[in-house]
Structure 1
Amino acid sequence: EDQKMIARSLLYMLLDKSDPGKIPANGIYIQPDVKEYSSLDFSQAKALIDSGYAQTIRQIKEIKSKVQPRKTCEDVALKRNHFNSKATPIKVNKIVYEQFTNPEQKYLNRYFKNGKRPLYFSDIEKGYYKLVSEDYFNTIYPNFIFNPETKDYSFKLTKRKPRNFQVDFGGVIATRNISNIYLGLNYYHFNRILTHAQLNIATGDFYKSLQLKYRFDFPFFGRFYIEPEITINKWNFIQGSDILLKKYSPTALDRIDRKYGVSIGIPVARQIKAFVNGAYFFNNDQFLDKNYLVSTDTLDQLELSGTRFGVGILFNTLNRKQYPTEGKYFSISSNYFSLTEEYTPGNTSLNKLATRNNRSWLQAKISLEQYFKAGFYSSGYLLEGVLSNQPTFTNYFSTIINAPAFNPLQDSRTLLLQNFRAFNYVAGGLRNIFTLRKNIDFRLEAYAFKPLQSIAEDDKQLARIEQQIQQFYFAGMASFVMHSTVGPISLSANYYDDQNRQFSVLLHVGFLLFNKNSLE
């Protein structure tokens, strides 16, 4: 009763008490049927608008009878064009920076053709949206000022109090033992250059991560950045459990990878960047050479230490970090690896001797993802290919866990899918997304993985390379996804053409995302 009283009071205050009897003879009174709604039904705004539109259509004959003047579309377009021809085209000869220091103005000027004038609306629009795409600058307020003497415009940017320190908090809750909590700390400093310090921490039973980045954005040479980083990831495949699937068999694998590197990025076109990177890495893997673990088993120890250097090009306009429905992603990269492999066998290894070997190889990778939206339906595709001369390691398991992997589904990185790993492969798939309601999608996805060379295990636990001509492996997913303020909420049925991981059901709340490992 109290809620009804509040609703009626708000309705009385916010709405005029219309009296149809006071409508003049040439007036029109439109009253849609909204009795089932209250003034607090803000979530029903679209339905309320539709009710008004439907009632207007019902009274269209009355409206036409009382609105006598008629004009053709051509007449309206002619008058509109005549009116628009009197408008002064937006040409900017000056950018006004309010509350910015001189070094800051020089930095910002790089977004607007480095001081070249005049600028037109498309130039201003392009530069401004590039500027505010950086979180630190999204509080800058824009304005156009008309100059009557010169018949042109000035573009004014006003600095409001920036958010130098920002905190991100999140994580994921899942029905498998892959839940984690995430904390991100960001600090910005802006003077002659923009610096961004970033600390990311994730902790859970399956995945733990610590990442520190420090990015320097320079306004020189068309703008570029330098970003040193330290990334430490820990993956515990042994501690596996599934609430929905009781017969879940974890993989006897525990991984730690550490990467200390730096990357340099340069914009080469709109939303396209070229990058160069290099890193030193030190990885430690512990694993069994069989499918089950008993308490008396000791794990094999594999240590990889070395360097990698890479170059590439990246383009990304996807509308979401996970489960996108629009946009395009393209990446092509080439990497050189040089490392030392140190292997210490456990009691499940047929090889009883510790070994130390030097390995080096080249790898090229290309990925393409794109979506086409038409109404409530979006179609998309994913294509990926890897070519390399990567050698085999000491035994089969050490080889397969360090081979490039195809990860098409949201939980692929949480599983060791041996059939979806190879030194050379091509893969692809189709994605179908049906928007059932706002922020609720139904997704159907299917993929095929084709190893050009498969990695098999011989009777001595060694890795054997086989030329594959006819073998394909398939994966698929059917899922409902709701995009909420806490991230995606997804219930999915997943299939992998892998003997250890075929059918599964997964419910997760939040982004199921992980850092790349040091060899990706």
Structure 2
Amino acid sequence: KGSLAEAVRATMTVPIIYRPIKLDGKYVFDGGLYNNFPADVMQKEFNPDFIIGANVSSKTYNEYPKNNDDRLMNRFLVFMFLSKSDSTMVGKNGIYIQPDLTGYSVTNFSPAKELIKKGYDATMAEMEKIKNAISRRVTDEDLEKRRARFNDQKRDFVFNNITVSGVNEQQKRYVERLFKSDKKTFNLQDIKRGYYKLVADQTFETIYPKIAYQATTDSYTFEVVAQPKKSFKLDIGGNISSRPISNVFLGAQYNYLNRKAYTFGTSFYSGRFYESVQVSGRVDYPTKLPLFVGAELTYNHWNFYNTSQIFIENPHPIYIEQSDRKIDLMMGVPLNYNTKIVLHSSFINNQDEYSPNSTFAVGDLLDQTIFNGFKASLNLEKNSLNRKQYATRGQSFLLSFNFTTGRENYNPGNIFRNVVPANTFLPSNHLRQWIGVKLSQENYFLHLKKYTLGYIVEGVISNQPLFNNYYSTLLVAPAFYPLQDSRSLFLDKFRASTYAAGGIKNIFSVRKNLDLRLEGYLFLPHKEYELNNLQDVAYAKAITKIRYAA
């Protein structure tokens, strides 16, 4: 009795992997926790003439594994789930099938097709025995007729009510507004549309849908069992590197759900190379067309000279220090659970200090460029990657249109004081405006047992003007960051106002969270920047050089 869909979902529940659901007011789990091969239950409840039993456990034990117990303790949970698979329980007339699943893990859901093929092959190997033991035969035509008669009994999905449980009254109204409609009844497409809005909202920890038939009205009720995200979340992290770019991270987030969903957060990075502080807020409106508005206040600081090795002298040091401050106001619309359109309006203040000739001595003053301006951008974003870093599955896509306007203020230092007259380089102030388009995609498309192949492509088209000098132009130009470590290096040859770039990612999976990666990239600028005289900047000839990274 009850819902078949809920029973199937309940039997998928394994602690740590899938959240449990309640049936008849009780949490239920995969039957494998108690009995992974319930042939004895089948005998007792149904007394069948014939049992076909398939076992997918990696190992079966009818007695205590004395010589193997220490090793099995390392995977005790999995062994506990799969420990009762006695082949003798199918009875003397039964057929016992055990596919060869050597090399597959109970927690790896990726190779589904391969696992199905293994089960099919193992069953076909026993097919003669099965056919000899069972005399009954049904033709394909008879089976099709039975299916057609069954499908004719199906009623159209017409919903006349939507209920919400697991949340308080205000949160309940928030969910109901996502399904708001002037119609008295809903079809399945209406329900799907509202459900995808709810999933894309990212306000809830879990969302579980139910459908129940109401005989009195000959219609259905759609129920949403929801659990809001925890009100307060604290994140701690960082990285340790052989280069002096190690840092620590602290983040905090507060969620409040009423008729609207509110999210407030702050984060801090601290290290020799990179420091950052960000405060953010966001409000989600459960309107017919879901909408969110938000604001971010961000401060970033990079010191590229501090990335030099501590005990190794760098023959080509980089004397660059960057700071940027940004107030970003945004408004967005989620298209589905992993795609959104976002409009950004940003007020920016960038301050760059640099040596124009990569030298610095006591008493030197660095050149300084300050850019104060406004940037507007419209982004289409999609992200289904399985990890924030070092992804192995899914894809990400970005299409961005942007407009920037602002004023560049240049103040020369004194590094050239012994080379040219003191008044050769003078302070300057210029209005700069440009538009740009950026397209990028990262996709992992080929998956073998231990190997994944992916690619990344990126292109930028912009009419961004040259700034006052070589380094001020480079520091504000769009950049391609092929490798994870690229952002901690000042790669002047991977910067251009217009470029095309791409690369291949070869990933060899050693263990669940351990990969070997071999990656190669190409960067093709339309026109590279050239240094003329002491610090003047000019464009090189179009499409003359290709840069490589691996």
User: Counterparts in 2 of 1:299-338, with a 5 A limit?
Assistant: 299-319=365-385, 320-324=387-391, 325-338=393-406
Q: How does 1:70-85 map to 2 (within 5 A)?
A: 70-73=137-140, 75-85=142-152
Against the structure 1 CA distance between its residues 203 and 50, is the aligned structure 2 distance closer, same or farther, given a 3 Å change threshold? Answer: farther
1:409 to 479, 483, 487: 483
**Deviation of 1:91 (Å):** 2.6
Q: Which moved more, 1:433-442 or 1:87-96?
A: 433-442
Asked if 1 retains the 8 angstrom alpha-carbon contact of 2:406 and 2:432, the reply is: yes
Segment drifting more, 75-84 vs 411-420: 75-84
Tell whether the 8 Å contact from 1:240 to 1:249 is kept in structure 2 after alignment: no
Name 1:251's counterpart in structure 2: 318
Report how far residue 160 of structure 1 moved: 3.9
Q: Cα deviation per residue 1:307-345 (whole Å; 9 max; x = unaligned)? A: 213131313133143344323403121222212414141
Please list the CA deviations of residues 431-467 of structure 1 after superposition, one character each: whole Å capped at 9, or x if unmatched: 244564666656554443333333211113122233x
Give 1:190 shift: 1.6
Q: Which of 465, 468, 471 is residue 390 of structure 1 equivalent to? A: 465
The answer for the alignment partner of 1:131 in structure 2 is: 198
Aligned residue among 435, 456, 468 for 1:363: 435
Question: Which has more strand, going by share of residues?
Answer: 1
User: Contact 1:313/1:333 (CA < 8 Å) preserved in 2?
Assistant: yes
What residue in structure 1 maps to residue 285 of structure 2?
218
Q: Which residue of 1 aligns with 2:538?
A: 464
Post-superposition offset of 1:201: 1.3
**2:305 maps to which of 228, 233, 238:** 238
Match of 1:210, as an amino acid?
A: V
1:454 aligns with 2:528: yes
SS of 1:469's equivalent in the other structure is coil
Structure-2 separation of matches of 1:70 and 1:246: 82
Contact 2:383 2:395 in 1 (8 A): yes
1-structure distance, mates of 2:311, 2:144: 62
In structure 2, what is the Cα distance between the partners aligned to 1:12 and 1:330? 42
Q: Render the CA deviation track for 1:102-158: whole Å, top value 9, x for unaligned.
A: 654453234325454533334434432432344431234432221112222111123
CA distance in 1 between partners of 2:317 and 2:145 (Å): 72
Check whether the contact 2:339–2:380 (CA below 8 A) recurs between aligned residues: yes
Question: Structure 1 residues 7, 230: closer, same or farther in 2, change over 3 A?
Answer: closer
Q: Which amino acid aligns with 2:504?
A: R
1:207 aligns with 2:268: no
Conserved 8 A contact 1:23-1:29: no
Question: What amino acid maps onto 1:155 in structure 2?
Answer: F
SS at match of 1:404: coil
Unaligned 5+ runs, structure 2: 1-65
The match for 2:248 is 181
State how far apart, in whole Å, the 2-side matches of 1:234 and 1:445 are.
29
| Distance 1:172-1:472 versus aligned 2 partners, 3 A rule | same
Instruction: Report the 3-state secondary structure (helix = DSSP H, G, I; strand = E; otherwise coil) of the residue aligned with 2:527.
Output: strand
Q: Which whole-Å deviations, capped at 9, do the CAs of 1:195-247 have from their partners, x for residues lacking one?
A: 11011112222211111101122234723222121101111111124699996
Distance 1:314 1:407 in 2: 20
Matched, 1:142 2:209: yes
Distance 1:276 1:181 in 2: 31
Partner-residue secondary structure (3-state), 1:92: strand
- Following TM superposition, by how much is the alpha carbon of 1:187 offset from its aligned partner in structure 2, in angstroms? 0.5
CA–CA distance in structure 2, aligned partners of residues 367 and 403 of structure 1: 16
Contact 1:136 1:163 in 2 (8 A): no
Of residues 133-142 and 237-246 in structure 1, the stretch that sits farther from structure 2 once superposed is 237-246
What residue in structure 1 maps to residue 7 of structure 2?
none
Q: Percent identity?
A: 26
| SS class of match (1:107) | helix
User: Within the alignment, does 1:4 sit opposite 2:69 as a pair?
Assistant: yes
> 1:380-427 CA deviation, whole Å, 9 max, x = no partner?
34131121242322x32222112221223322222111112123x121
CA distance in 2, matches of 1:52, 1:223: 44
- Between 1:81-90 and 1:1-10, the stretch displaced more is 1-10
**Residues 352-361 or 202-211, more deviating:** 352-361
Q: For 1:162-177, list aligned pairs within 5 A.
A: 162-177=229-244
Give the direction of change, closer, same or farther, for the CA distance of 1:29–1:97 in structure 2 (3 Å limit): closer
Q: State the shift of 1:27 in Å.
A: 2.6
- The CA distance in 1 between the partners of 2:118 and 2:379, in whole Å, is 50
Distance 1:403 1:370, change over 3 A: closer
| Paired residue secondary structure (1:391) | coil
2:494 corresponds in structure 1 to: 420
- After superposition, the Cα gap between the structure-2 partners of 1:243 and 1:65, relative to the gap in structure 1 and judged at 3 Å, is farther
Across the aligned residues of Structure 1 and Structure 2, the Cα RMSD in angstroms comes to: 3.9
Closer, same or farther in 2 for the Cα pair 1:206/1:71, shift >3 Å? farther
Judged with a 3 Å threshold, the aligned counterparts in structure 2 of structure 1 residues 28 and 428 are, in CA distance, closer, same or farther, namely same
Residue 280 of structure 1: how far off its partner (Å): 2.7
Q: 1:127 to 1:142 in 2, by over 3 A?
A: same
Aligned pair in 2 of structure 1 residues 265, 58: CA closer, same or farther (>3 Å)? Answer: closer
Match of 1:380 among 455, 466, 470: 455
2:467 partner amino acid? T
Q: Which residue of 2 aligns with 1:508?
A: none
CA deviations over 1:22-46 (Å, ceiling 9, x no partner): 933x333457899x99xxx966999
Q: Which residue of 2 aligns with 1:92?
A: 159
The alpha carbon displacement at 1:362 in A equals 1.4
CA distance in 2, matches of 1:276, 1:243: 43
What's the CA shift string for 1:57-113, capped at 9, x where partnerless?
Answer: 544432332133333455434433432332334332211123656654453234325
**440-449 or 126-135, larger mean C-alpha shift:** 440-449
- Matched residues in 1 for 2:349 and 2:503: separation? 37
Question: Which of 353, 375, 378 does residue 286 from structure 1 map onto?
Answer: 353
Number of residue pairs aligned between Structure 1 and Structure 2: 467
Flag the 1:407–1:5 CA change in 2: closer, same or farther, 3 A. Answer: closer
Tell me the distance in 2 between the aligned counterparts of 1:106 and 1:137: 14
Q: Which of 331, 341, 346 pairs up with 2:409?
A: 341
Q: Name the structure 1 match of 2:264.
A: 197
Which ranges in structure 1 are unaligned for 5 or more consecutive residues?
477-493, 495-520
TM-score calculated relative to the size of structure 2: 0.73
CA change 1:367–1:321 in 2 (3 A) is farther
Distance of 1:390 and 1:408 partners within structure 2: 24
Give the secondary structure class of the aligned counterpart of 2:356. Answer: coil
